[in-house]
Structure 1
């Protein structure tokens, strides 16, 4: 029993915690509790001002003969006891007659008195009968039926078994019972007008008081929506409670945040679009202007000799080559950004791919006084990639490292596995990046050198294209800079 008491207490606590949590989280339950409290107060007020009443309806009056039957039974019992006290013989007819005449209530003309033996033979009768014998069984049946339905105005028989000194018999009294009228009463309560008015006022005031905080919170949410609709996307609605209103406020704040991000993305896209048009115009115009200039000199014959003419042609050709590369890069970047290039993926040995690429770039590195130092994982690393497109990424990163490193210096290439990824790190020493440069290095048309000279800088799309190719392979590419140590990383799923 002692063990059951803590168990019951724990269950009660859990149930109370469940009910409390449900009320906190559901607005409709809170409203039901408020209404229940208001109705309880109204009931108390009406109880104070209520009055009880008893109503008698004349239409519901009914007549009963039960009291008359009771009086006849009582008279029969008294007379029977009186006769038995005289200790008479059943054959003493005259003495029996005298005893009956002596009783005053037996003189009532409405009452007939009969004494019979056990077989129903009449010994004495106040009134004359045609028959000399009665059916005791029928009289008893009639008496029982009358007692069941005491609303009929018929002759009633009351029987008493008499004991004489030498035999037994029956005392039978017959009469019509006297009627008694009864009224049906209805009990009820009335509420005073004052009580009803006070209860109504109390209900309204208490309901307004208990719902005041919720209504105020709804007004705050409404005000927040108005602020957001006017363009104030920095406005946040306070989160109060755990019910549907608080969830609504959370959703509105989330919607506001997402809307703000969408607007910022749209603005950024518009700015990028404008920047793209400006950069494309600039990068196309510069070589095109040079080409037109040298071709114009050739057309007008403004050259001294054939050697100078060939120099002008070489310059115009080189400029057109750069223009062609720029247009091809721009076209490829546009397709990559729109996911318009399908990938031809195959399982490729990452180790062999990097080894081959390093071998091919050794002459270029030596020309730029750069040493390529490799640290490649000996175990075979297989990656599912489009080899041709990923070669362009690695080649672009290595060429950038060779081009922008201090001369002479060393470029380090490291390939290793980390969890379920293969990571390539290309590091070199060069001019450090600022934080802003590091964040924009993969943006299209971005060059670290501010002059945007194409003599050293490329099209400005190389790293942007590399990033798009890596992301198409569901990989990651990023850059780090610690002083003069610059590192580029590419991670691919194994």
Structure 2
């Protein structure tokens, strides 16, 4: 959805400019008000004059007031009853005139604000009401613009989520379709007896079996990814020794590392290294990182698992001395299905979800992870709180 923008840069922060029609309306309002006030004043004076002529008591009261004023002030002419009455009437008329004009002006301002609001409501979410007003109308404009900003952010976030879902479905469909096509193809050959001997039959069944395992791995990783992506996913927190956990992982990967001419070393400070976490999920985290190092750290000879305590944090680094990762790819390593080299990924296999799962597990524990790479080491650095329960 494209967001249209009204050309209001020249009006940003400006006051409302009345149109010629609105100016004419304001002038007519003033003239009508003045005419009505003149008629009202004439009616009041006429009524007062009739009362003075017909009522002796009223005459005496007015005479007494006049006498008091004359004694109090020396200028009798200036404070004559007629001048005082005229002065009060003029002040009253000016107040009424100002009130009616300012009320009509505020109505016109509100009309402009409503017009801007309709323009935004028609889908022009990039537009903001540009007027800078004082008082209640100013606060209304600020509230409307703030609401539009929040709405645009929500729309953009929803759009990103939808795009992310579409990309996920597309990637899953592609990664499942490829092995599924092979499985169907080889099973079809077997079904139609398109094989020459038992050796061909075993070859076809083995290929179909391998592709089925590849599909199962993808489904398992996808399930794990969706599970750890939920912020509400529960953690089974226990205290454990990180040194022992890393040492056990090094033993588990020893055979695979030896096949690739690599070895896994563990360095921890202090020893023992006691911290808190969900060991099942942390094992999955380090399995993914070590497996990633074995796949893409070829030509290297060493994988190092380091853990050190810094303040209230545990900093764990999984690094290998394999080929350097380009700088442009470092920030995308944790994206779903992202691979630095497509050809290399096809050679080494994998679902493309391992690092995304690892990042989600770290976030669940209240930490963060990042990658760095130079000619000597490619490192995945993890920051975790030593005691997760103390920050909840």
TM-score, normalised to structure 1, is: 0.56
* Partner residue, 1:472: 364
**8 A contact 2:270–2:309 mirrored in 1:** no
- Please point out which of 433, 438, 441 is paired with 2:326: 433
Secondary structure of 1:301 counterpart: coil
- What is aligned with 1:336? 228
Q: Which of 381, 405, 408 is 2:273 aligned to?
A: 381
User: Secondary structure in 2 aligned to 1:225?
Assistant: helix
* C-alpha distance in 2 between matches for 1:396 and 1:371: 17
In 1, Cα distance between equivalents of 2:172 and 2:323: 28
Task: Tell me the alpha carbon deviations over residues 417-454 of structure 1, each in whole angstroms, 9 at most, x when there is no partner.
Answer: 2221111122334242343x333322222222235954
Instruction: Decide whether aligned partners of structure 1 residues 60 and 487 sit closer, same or farther in structure 2, where only a CA change above 3 A counts.
Output: closer
> Radius of gyration: which is bigger?
1
Counterpart of 2:14? none
1:254 to 133, 138, 146: 146
Q: Distance in 2 between matches of 1:430 and 1:209?
A: 78
Deviation at 1:404, TM superposition (A): 0.9
CA contact (8 A) 1:383 1:492 kept: no
- Residues in 1 aligned to 2:62 and 2:89: alpha-carbon distance in whole angstroms: 33
Q: CA deviation at 1:475?
A: 2.2
Distance apart, 1:397 and its partner CA: 0.8
Whether the 8 Å contact between 2:182 and 2:211 is mirrored in structure 1 is yes
| Aligned-residue offset at 1:237 | 4.8
Q: Which residue of 2 aligns with 1:396?
A: 288
The structure with the greater share of residues assigned to helix is 2
Matched residue, 1:360: 252
Q: Please state how far the C-alpha of 1:399 moved relative to its aligned partner.
A: 1.4
Q: Structure 1: 5+ residue runs without aligned partners? A: 1-45, 62-181
Inter-partner Cα distance in structure 2 for 1:218 and 1:192? 39
Whole-Å separation in 2 of the counterparts to 1:239 and 1:363: 71
Instruction: State the match for 2:189 in structure 1.
Output: 297
C-alpha deviation, 1:391, in angstroms: 0.4
Q: Determine if the alignment matches structure 1 residue 487 to structure 2 residue 379.
A: yes
Q: 1:187: which partner in 2?
A: 65
Structure 1 residues 193, 390: CA separation in 2 closer, same or farther (over 3 Å shift)?
same
Offset of residue 283 of structure 1? 1.1
The runs of 5 or more residues in structure 2 that have no matched partner are 1-40, 67-80, 387-392
Cα deviation 1:142-172 (Å, max 9, x = unaligned): xxxxxxxxxxxxxxxxxxxxxxxxxxxxxxx
Aligned-partner Cα distance in 2 for 1:239–1:484: 59
How high is the TM-score relative to the length of structure 2? 0.69
Counterpart in the other structure of 1:313: 205
Q: Distance in 2 between matches of 1:342 and 1:417?
A: 25
Structure 1 CA distance for aligned equivalents of residues 380 and 62 of structure 2: 104
| Count of residues paired in the alignment | 325
Q: CA RMSD in A?
A: 4.0
Contact 1:432 1:485 (8 Å CA) reproduced: no
Distance 1:227 1:59, change over 3 A: closer
Partner in structure 2 of residue 275 of structure 1: 167
Q: For residues 116-135 of structure 1, what are the structure 2 equivalents within 5 Å?
A: none
How far apart are 1:194 and its partner, in Å?
6.2
Q: What is the Cα deviation at residue 59 of structure 1?
A: 5.8
Q: Secondary structure at the match of 2:342?
A: coil
Q: In terms of mean alpha carbon deviation, does 396-405 or 330-339 score higher?
A: 330-339
Q: How does 1:397-436 map to 2 (within 5 A)?
A: 397-428=289-320, 429-435=322-328
**Conserved? CA contact 2:260–2:298, under 8 Å:** no
Corresponding residue number in structure 1 for 2:9:
none
1:447–1:457 Cα contact (<8 Å) kept = no
